[in-house]
Structure 1
Amino acid sequence: MTEPATRDRAASAPRPALLTVDDDPAVSRSVARDLRRRYGDEYRVVRAESGEAGMEVLRELKLRGEQAAVLVADHRMPGMSGIEFLEHAMDLYPQARRVLLTAYADTDVAIDAVNVVDLDHYLLKPWDPPEEKLYPVLDAQLEAWVASAPRPVVETKVVGHRWSARSSELREFLARNQVPYRWFTSDGPEGRRLLEAAGLDERAVPVVVTTEGEVLAAPSDAEVAARVGLSVEPAAEFYDLVVVGGGPAGLSAALYGASEGLRTALVERTATGGQAGQSSRIENYLGFPDGVSGSQLTERARRQALKFGAEIVMTRDAVGLEVAGSARAVRFADGSTVGAHTVILASGVAYRELDGPGFAALTGSGVYYGSALTEAPACRDHDVYVVGGANSAGQAAMFLSRTARSVTLVVRGASLASSMSHYLVEQVTTNDRIRVLTRTEVVEAVGDGHLERLVLRDCDTGARQTVDTGWLFVFIGAAPHTGWLEGTLARDEHGFVRAGHDLLVDGHVPASWPLDRPPYHLETSVPGVFAAGDVRAESAKRVASAVGEGAMAVMLVHRYLEQL
């Protein structure tokens, strides 16, 4: 007799379900009894006495993130037959094994069902003794399920106010870091139940409940990261290479550094991907003719960097760069440091914030900066406004137009052509749901607790108009996060880091440069510190160029290290 199949699961994960559906209570109890006797230690046996009740059980399991391993249904049931039940169940649990209970007279029907619902097996009633006629069949089905079923996903829960800026930030943080979570409003029934179970009230939100049941009231990003499995502490004190920033340039640098044998650590403030990671669709990146979302692209890059041994440390805010002989050290906001022979600055840029009445107060409550992916589901059948004229704004407008009633793209310039890729201009201008307002700016946001209206201004005439909307997504400008480098590295008037030829004065190396050789192409005013991607002055501000510069910076790191 073979032992029941088991699978390697986390101790906190609920047991997968074995669901039996039969309208005869006696048969239902008999099936459940035999299943519990054999499989009760590893699987949770659940029974239902109709197809409709069985579907309700599956919906509840799906909502809780639990798994269904085997479905056993009687063929002859009123209302919904066993075949019909198994066919519907495939939509919720396509990988669950499907077994039909049938009488000898219905054998032909059971055989035909193999082609209809991809039936895995059928059992003739009665199956006594179960050791010979039931358990061998179920053992085989469970072994097959274990080999193919995905690992269980136990989701983190977030409870918060719908129009809370911090609640929105937490959801964005989890989503961008690929952490599965479920969102509950604090005034909804499940949200209230979770708060009651935690002994908290609405004043404590946002509240995060981890998969282990730990409750975090109004937590910081670092606290959440540490509890959901993200790395928040460097494993070592010194590396060959430290990369600051986890956008395309930083991920590329970490990947190539680690794959070429450098002890590499990447430190990131919020989430890998940068602005590219927030893009709903990138269609002009080499090798993806059908397009790819920014989150998919950067998540693949993150996994690839980890595969080669790069260390990725999250929620680390760099506040200083220190130079001590040949060593370079990045200082964090908590006072700790991490040292390295070389540093690649790839911290990218952030969207500039709108300056005017109401915008600061309503940020996260209807006014959002680069968070179209997270908030898009709530915009269904609403009128949405997007500010910006570059690719990120166009991609957001296209994405939102799938479900929004209308999308208005507000652009200060005279046309989209000067800042948006040609292919995207064509898509935007031919989309019936998108309206483009050129030579227009948003000057005020109005609302009590959340956005209700916007004030638009005509840049040529100065005329103003007020429009009703609860949604504004902002994708304007590029502000580099480089204030922490003040007094250490040379930057241009906009804060972008100067590197390579941009450091030369009238074609000559400046007197402050300490080495006999000129700076390498991506090398900053401090030898051994390089800049890649959008943070670098005069960069192309495209994903492909950022990836290329990240790889090139590693090549220059090798050249620098050879001379130490």
Structure 2
Amino acid sequence: MTPPAVEPRKPAILTVDDDPAVSRAVTRDLRRHYGERYRIVRAESGADAIATLKELKLRGDAVAVIVSDYRMPQMSGIDFLEKAMDMYPLARRVLLTAYADVSAAIDAINVVDLDHYLQKPWDPPAEKLYPVIDDLLEKWHATGDRAMPYTKVIGHRYSDRSWEVRQFLARNGYSFRAVNAEEPKGQQLLEAAGLDDSRLPVVITEKGETLVEPTDVELATLLGLSTSPQLEMYDLAVIGGGPAGLAAAVYGASEGLKTVLIEKSSTGGQAGRSSKIENYLGFPRGVSGAELTTSARLQAEKFGAEVITTQEAGKLEVNGVGAAHSIQLNEDHTIGARAVILATGVDYRQLQITGCWDDPDDPGCNYIGRGVYYGASVSDNSECAGEDVYIVGGANSAGQAAMYMSQTAKSVTMLIRGSSLEAGMSQYLVDRILKTPNITVRTCTEVIDTTADDDHLTGLLLSDRRTGETETVTCDRMCCFIGATPRTDWLEEAGIARDDHGFVLSGPDVMKVSGWMLDRPPHHLETSVPGVFVAGDVRSESAKRVAAAVGEGSMAVMLVHRYLAEA
């Protein structure tokens, strides 16, 4: 999906006057002189002007100058400017007064921190209006508020759901800005939307539409993603939207198969979270995981593949050799497919220490999404600005996260159980890390406990595996990359053979552990169930590299064609 284009917006100059003739006159003069650089907005009452400011705030537009009449019914210019200050405190304020109101206007300077007052009439504007506005605009540009012409996600810093919403949008390539609900900007946006911080997160779109505590389905609808299958039967169903699944969808659809890809959250898998992949063939300057996988999704859709988001495969029903298999999805959807490719990928293994895992005996003690994260933790590296970040793990994904967050974090410390980075990481990445001044690598070190403040992580207890010595450190954010757990529990009922670690067996390995029911041997990537194939990290003994996953996804489609020709 292509992220929505964000066009530069002109800052607004707002005029408010209950006299239509005066209102038109000041708008005409402002537009004549400033119309090319600013958006001139007119209101004829204080209430209308407040409504206009709320709309501008929700849309993320900046307001540079507010010009208000003093004498207006229902709401005086002073009262209006007081309310306007709450939404746009940095906008410059001008009061229009008649000669008899000059003393009142002067007294009001202290009330609304007035920047200037003008007497009516202001003719000629070149002498009496434009020099004043020019000066105020210059001051506003030096210190003033800036537009936020993006979708805004307002949430608490230590809210797991707020983090999940940001991740969902970011991993689907959607432009947005994260706003802390406790900061003035967040409070202003909530007030403009008529909300408070009791129901978060809140998503305010670029057009000013508001989603309160949105579900993944609502977010997918916002992004224009499909959330339910269009057909009941497909030639090929691909389960999982990482590099292997995307490659399978591209090749399946391009070769004429009715193809559907099912992904529970966002396409890309673990690769989609990588800030920069520098050793993928054909990208000498590197490519972000999101860019690579978003392009792959667009490519699959271009060839006619149906990509379904927010659906998860929960059951695979095997209907016999040559018959279509049934896949049960959430929300009571069931689809049929003549062939299936399993590309569900893996989850990062959870640390079995306080607050770092889904402990059924203590569900309230969980800091996941509130300082503890598995995989990449930030949708924008500004989220970790000024923080002390610890990264647990020494593979490429951990190194890429360290490099990305080091751009804004106060410090990044990598904790490695082994004796060196080189054992599990590409050399080019090792060299980059060692040259980055705010990244520290601690080998032979592991996390054995956590410290917390109320509901979020504040520190770690570390142990030196060589000496046994322990140390408590301050930690704002811990990101874990400590091995893989395959997403295969749902396959047990279907009789899919797996190894001792839960990874799916295929090809010759199937013959060693299960009764193969056909005269022919299983195809190289075929599982113990004929017509069900596996590709990518979820396959036993796979290479765990993006290029390998892409290759297996495309190879699996070739084997699907052979299977369908035989059936």
TM-score (norm 1): 0.74
> What is the CA distance between 1:353 and its match in structure 2?
1.2
> What is the CA distance between 1:222 and its match in structure 2?
2.4
1:336 partner letter: H
Q: Deviations over 1:222-263 (max 9, x none)?
A: 232234422101111111111111110111111111111111
- Which deviates further from its counterpart, 297-306 or 153-162? 153-162
The answer as to whether partners of 1:17 and 1:46 remain within 8 angstroms in 2 is no
Q: Give the RMSD, CA atoms, in angstroms.
A: 3.7
1:451 partner letter: L
Counterpart residue number, 1:391: 396
1:528 aligned to which of 525, 531, 540: 531
Counterpart residue number, 1:515: 518
Q: Matched residues in 2 for 1:452 and 1:408: separation? A: 15
Residue 334 (structure 2) pairs with residue 329 (structure 1): no
- The alpha-carbon distance between structure 1 residues 78 and 15, as it changes in their structure 2 partners (threshold 3 A), is closer
Counterpart residue number, 1:434: 439
Counterpart residue number, 1:352: 349
Residue 337 (structure 2) pairs with residue 340 (structure 1): yes
2:234 aligned to which of 223, 236, 239: 239
1:494 partner letter: H
- The alpha-carbon distance between structure 1 residues 15 and 409, as it changes in their structure 2 partners (threshold 3 A), is closer
2:286 partner letter: G
- The alpha-carbon distance between structure 1 residues 26 and 493, as it changes in their structure 2 partners (threshold 3 A), is closer
2:542 aligned to which of 535, 539, 542: 539
1:552 partner letter: M
The alignment of Structure 1 onto Structure 2 pairs a total of residues equal to: 462
SS in 1 for 2:456: coil
2:551 aligned to which of 530, 545, 548: 548
- The alpha-carbon distance between structure 1 residues 161 and 537, as it changes in their structure 2 partners (threshold 3 A), is same
The answer as to whether partners of 2:193 and 2:210 remain within 8 angstroms in 1 is yes
SS in 1 for 2:515: coil
2:174 aligned to which of 163, 179, 184: 179
> What is the CA distance between 1:195 and its match in structure 2?
3.8
Counterpart residue number, 1:503: 510
- The alpha-carbon distance between structure 1 residues 65 and 262, as it changes in their structure 2 partners (threshold 3 A), is farther
> What is the CA distance between 1:312 and its match in structure 2?
0.8
- The alpha-carbon distance between structure 1 residues 465 and 19, as it changes in their structure 2 partners (threshold 3 A), is closer
> What is the CA distance between 1:427 and its match in structure 2?
1.7
Counterpart residue number, 2:362: none
> What is the CA distance between 1:504 and its match in structure 2?
2.1
2:481 aligned to which of 462, 468, 475: 475
The answer as to whether partners of 1:327 and 1:340 remain within 8 angstroms in 2 is yes
Q: Matched residues in 2 for 1:446 and 1:476: separation? A: 20
The answer as to whether partners of 1:268 and 1:314 remain within 8 angstroms in 2 is yes
Q: Matched residues in 2 for 1:558 and 1:250: separation? A: 16
Q: Deviations over 1:368-396 (max 9, x none)?
A: 11234426313223322111010001111
Residue 490 (structure 2) pairs with residue 484 (structure 1): yes
Q: Matched residues in 2 for 1:15 and 1:46: separation? A: 17
Give unmatched runs, 5+ long, in structure 2. Answer: 15-22, 43-54, 64-124, 358-365
The answer as to whether partners of 2:60 and 2:206 remain within 8 angstroms in 1 is no
- Which deviates further from its counterpart, 465-474 or 331-340? 331-340
TM-score (norm 2): 0.73
> What is the CA distance between 1:16 and its match in structure 2?
7.2
Counterpart residue number, 1:298: 293
> What is the CA distance between 1:220 and its match in structure 2?
2.6
Counterpart residue number, 2:560: 557
2:198 partner letter: R
Identity %: 53
Q: Deviations over 1:54-98 (max 9, x none)?
A: xxxxxx989945699xxxxx999869999x99xx99xx99xxxxx
- The alpha-carbon distance between structure 1 residues 165 and 15, as it changes in their structure 2 partners (threshold 3 A), is closer
Give unmatched runs, 5+ long, in structure 1. Answer: 1-9, 48-59, 69-73, 94-152
> What is the CA distance between 1:194 and its match in structure 2?
4.3
- The alpha-carbon distance between structure 1 residues 30 and 555, as it changes in their structure 2 partners (threshold 3 A), is same
SS in 2 for 1:359: coil
- The alpha-carbon distance between structure 1 residues 19 and 200, as it changes in their structure 2 partners (threshold 3 A), is closer
- The alpha-carbon distance between structure 1 residues 368 and 415, as it changes in their structure 2 partners (threshold 3 A), is same
Q: Matched residues in 2 for 1:511 and 1:300: separation? A: 39
